[in-house]
Structure 1
Amino acid sequence: MKALGTLFIAALLVIVAALVFIYSGWYDVSANSAHGAVARRLLGTVMRNSVRAHARHIVPPELSSQMARAGAGHFKEHCAECHGAPGVERGDIGRGLTPRPPKLADTAQNWSAGELYWIVRNGIKMTGMPAWDASHSDEEIWQTVAFVRLLPRMSPAEYQQMVTQAGPHGHAHAEEGGHGHDEHEH
């Protein structure tokens, strides 16, 4: 009985400490200060495990070089500002986010194609990573994933060449071997 009482008091103290922490305003949520090591590790673990669990059953299509060429334009327009690219530093928005968006040229290989698709499609809460499903088709998201998968092996010159070859709205120019898509394609 004494052990049960001790356990109850310990649980009550944890609840009181949590409430003091929550309502005190002590934790700095400013984007100018990084999370502490414990919070960073905890949030990173939760994020990785959540993405892996939710993406577990996603079967990626064949990620072709044509898809990657189309994805280069999407990446340049929507991702490079925050994530940077080979030879391209993050822009003002990416430098101002906390936590800092990962440099995908360094970290993309840590995720499967299905996991990258899930992240791009759904975004990540409280990181600045938006969900692109409302403004981009599944095809466009897979094109972006195909491109992101190439980033870790891409030189700055190769990056510049691919984004230069990307046509309007991220579709590869026909003369470069891509055909993009229009209203008549399905």
Structure 2
Amino acid sequence: MRILYSIVIVGVVLAVSGFAFIHSGIYNVTAMEEHSPLGKWALHTTMKNSVEARVSELDVPSNLASEEMIRQGARAYDQLCVACHLKPGLEDTLLRQGLNPTPPSLVERGHFGPAEQFWVIKNGIKMTGMPAWGVTHDDEDLWEITAFLQRLPSLSEAEYTRLIQPEPGTQAGADDGHDHDHGDMGGMMASGSSHGSTHGEPGHHDMSKPHDARHNDATDHHSSHEPEKASEPEADDHYADGHSH
């Protein structure tokens, strides 16, 4: 009986301690600090085992090596995934720098196979910033991305670029009977291309420069586009103030 009482008391103490810890605000949830090694291990191991426990009934398509699937998947990946998971020639992005845990670089081979990759793409991962693309995309689109991920680690920058370009003889945006407009996350990309391909665009700063240099660039850019002050409207011009009456 004493053992039972001891177990109950320990359980109550742990429950009260946990409740107090949660409500105390002691734990700092800032994404600017790394997880402890123990916390990182616990989160990663939980995620890995959770995914692997849920893919046993998934049927992996037999045509993942299809060039058409890979090409369509490359375009989807370029629109949806590059800002977090990079591409050949891109070393970092603005979005990726602020995420904790840092998203894995899918340019490098990981430990997940196609079934696990599809599950993660479709369902997302809680509290990591990985969205559940299954909410907005059907399985066909997501298997195409999965097919492309099998090829991605072996691609050079030039090969990647060729894959995401329209096929010869077709125009960009041409309707092939399958909607591949996945959205645009380009605004979160401006950092870390090894060849500076994103740094010359208006509105983006070269993150490879010191902060003061980037500030001066931004000031110069703003000054060079300063609009000339409009002349005062004529008193009898009813529409000169730009308002439609």
TM over 0.5: yes
d(CA) in 1 for partners of 2:127, 2:157: 30
Q: How does 1:142-153 map to 2 (within 5 A)?
A: 142-153=143-154
Question: Could you say if the C-alpha distance between residues 113 and 180 of structure 1 is closer, same or farther in structure 2, counting changes exceeding 3 Å?
Answer: farther
Which residue of structure 1 aligns with residue 120 of structure 2? 119
Deviation at 1:123, TM superposition (A): 1.0
Which whole-Å deviations, capped at 9, do the CAs of 1:100-141 have from their partners, x for residues lacking one? Answer: 111112244x11211111111111111111111232222111
d(CA) in 2 for partners of 1:107, 1:39: 24
1:81 equivalent in alignment to 2:83: yes
Deviation at 1:24, TM superposition (A): 1.0
d(CA) in 2 for partners of 1:73, 1:98: 26
Task: Say which SS state the counterpart of residue 42 (structure 2) adopts.
Answer: helix
Which residue of structure 1 aligns with residue 105 of structure 2? 103
Q: For structure 1, which runs of at least 5 residues remain unmatched after alignment?
A: 168-172
Q: For structure 2, which runs of at least 5 residues remain unmatched after alignment?
A: 180-245
Which residue of structure 1 aligns with residue 60 of structure 2? 60
Which residue of structure 1 aligns with residue 132 of structure 2? 131
TM-score by length of 1: 0.84
Which residue of structure 1 aligns with residue 157 of structure 2? 156
Deviation at 1:183, TM superposition (A): 5.7
Extract structure 1 runs of 4+ deviating beyond 6 A. none
Deviation at 1:84, TM superposition (A): 0.8
Which whole-Å deviations, capped at 9, do the CAs of 1:13-36 have from their partners, x for residues lacking one? Answer: 211221122111111111212222
Which residue of structure 2 aligns with residue 13 of structure 1? 13
Alignment check: 8 A CA contact 1:70 1:180 kept: no
Alignment check: 8 A CA contact 1:174 1:180 kept: no
Which residue of structure 2 aligns with residue 170 of structure 1? none
Task: Say which SS state the counterpart of residue 86 (structure 1) adopts.
Answer: coil
1:71 paired residue among 70, 73, 76 = 73
Deviation at 1:3, TM superposition (A): 2.1
Which residue of structure 1 aligns with residue 216 of structure 2? none
Alignment check: 8 A CA contact 1:31 1:97 kept: yes
Deviation at 1:174, TM superposition (A): 5.8
TM-score by length of 2: 0.65
d(CA) in 2 for partners of 1:86, 1:79: 13
| Amino acid corresponding to residue 9 of structure 1 in structure 2 | I
Which whole-Å deviations, capped at 9, do the CAs of 1:150-178 have from their partners, x for residues lacking one? Answer: 12222333223322x3x3xxxxx2659xx
| Amino acid corresponding to residue 93 of structure 2 in structure 1 | G
Question: Could you say if the C-alpha distance between residues 124 and 160 of structure 1 is closer, same or farther in structure 2, counting changes exceeding 3 Å?
Answer: same
Question: Could you say if the C-alpha distance between residues 141 and 50 of structure 1 is closer, same or farther in structure 2, counting changes exceeding 3 Å?
Answer: same
